[in-house]
Structure 1
Amino acid sequence: MSAPLFSEPGARWWPIVLAPAFALVGIVMDAVMGGGMPVPVWLVSGAVLAAVGALIIHAARTHTAVELTGSTLRLGTDDIAIADIVHVFPPAPKGRRRQDPREPWESARSLGGLSVVPRGRRGIGVQLRSGALRQAWARDDAALRAVLEPLVARRRPRKGATGVKGRGPQ
C-alpha cells in the first residue's frame, strides 16, 4: 500500500479522557462539599460515559475518515480507484444566494457509503467512469481537491489514444 497523500481520521480519541476527568472532578467536589454520592458510582459513571464516547468515536472514524493514496480514495467505508474518477469539478461559487442555481454535482449522491455528505464536511464534485456524478468530501476540501485534481488529470486518457496497448497501425 502506498503512503497517504491526504488523510483525515474522522474523529480523534482525546475526548475519551473527558469522561474520567468529569468523574474525578465529581469525586473531588463531592468530598469538598460533603455530598453523599459514593465514589464507585462516580467511577462507574465515568467508565460508562467513556465507553459510549468510544463507540461514537469509533463510528466516526469508520464512516467519516478520508485517505487518498496515489491509486485509491477511501471515503468512509468505500474505496474508489483514482482510475474510476474521470473529472473533478470546480468548487461551487462562494457568496451565492439561496435562490441562485446549484451545480449539478451538488445534488449528487455522496461517496463513502453514506447518502449525504457528512456534517462538518464539504463536497467535491466528481464524475465517475460510469458517467455518474458523485460527491467526494472532506473537512479540508480545498486540501483534498489540491491533491486529487492532479492525480485525476494524470490518469485521464490523452485525446486520440485508443486505449489498447500494442496495437499500432496495421
Structure 2
Amino acid sequence: MTEPQPDDATVLFREPGATWWWLLAGPVSATTMLLIQLSSGYGWQPLLPAVFLVLVTGFLSLQVKAARIHTSVELTREYLRQGAETIRISEIARIYPVADGAEVPVWQSYRALGELTGVPRGRTGIGLKLSSDRRAQAWARKHRQLRIALTSVVNEPAS
C-alpha cells in the first residue's frame, strides 16, 4: 500500500501580516469618549463618539488591509510569497547562514522580496541566492521558523 502524497499546495509557513483585532480600537475609542463626556457632566452626546468610531475604525481598516497585502508571508513546496511578490522554490539555489558576530553579512544589503523598499519593520531578513546569479532577502516575524521550513523545502530532493 502506498502512502498518500502530500498536496503541493500545503502551506508550510504563513504569517498574515496584521490582525483584524486592531479594529477594536475604534469601538474602544468611541466608548472612552462617551464615558469622558458622561463623567464630565456633558451628558449623552453621541456625535463625537460616532466620529471617533468611524474615523479610527476606517483608518485602521485601511492600515490592516495594506499590511495583510504587503507584509504577509506564505511558503509551500512550490513557491514563497512575500507580500505581493511570489518566487518559485526551484529558483532558490542557496540560503545564506544566520548572521552571527559583530560583522554585518553582505546578504543583509540585498533587495528585500515583495514590493517594499526594504525588510518591513519588525521582521528579520534571510539571505537567499537565487537562480541566474540573483540575490534577495526573504523576511518574516518568525524568521527562525521560516528559515527551518525554507531550508527543508529547498534542500529536499526533487521528485
TM-score normalized by the length of structure 2: 0.89
| Contiguous gaps of at least 5 residues in structure 1 | 157-170
Question: Number of paired residues?
Answer: 152
Counterpart-to-counterpart distance in 2, 1:155 and 1:67? 21
Cα RMSD between the aligned structures?
Answer: 1.8
Is 1:105 matched up with 2:112? Answer: no
The answer to whether the 8 Å contact 1:123/1:141 transfers is: yes
1:97-147 per-position Cα deviation (integer Å, ceiling 9, x unaligned): 3xx3x2221111111122211110000000001111110000011000000
Counterpart-to-counterpart distance in 2, 1:130 and 1:112? 19
Q: Which has the larger radius of gyration?
A: 1
Is 1:71 matched up with 2:78? Answer: yes
% of aligned pairs identical?
37
Runs (4 or more) in structure 1 with deviation over 4 Å come to none
Partner of 2:117: 115
The answer to whether the 8 Å contact 2:94/2:129 transfers is: yes
Is 1:125 matched up with 2:127? Answer: yes
Partner of 1:141: 143
Counterpart-to-counterpart distance in 2, 1:53 and 1:23? 14
Shift in Å, 1:28: 2.0
Shift in Å, 1:29: 2.3
SS at match of 1:126: strand
Is 1:152 matched up with 2:159? Answer: no
Shift in Å, 1:37: 8.0
| Contiguous gaps of at least 5 residues in structure 2 | 1-7
